[in-house]
Amino acid sequence: MELVGGHSPGMQIVVVRSQRGLFVIANDALTTYRNLRDWFPPVVQVGDLRRCVDAMARIRILSNGDESRICPRHDGEILKRFPEVKPGVHRLV
Comparing 69 with 41, the larger pLDDT belongs to 69
21: β partners: 18
What pLDDT sits at residue 64? 95
What distance in Å separates the CA atoms of residue 8 and residue 46, rounded to the nearest whole number?
Answer: 5
What distance in Å separates the CA atoms of residue 93 and residue 68, rounded to the nearest whole number?
Answer: 9
3-36 pLDDT, tens digit per residue, is: 998 778 888 999 999 998 999 999 889 889 999 9
SS3 17: strand
The pTM is what? Answer: 0.87
Residue ranges per structural domain of the chain: 2-90
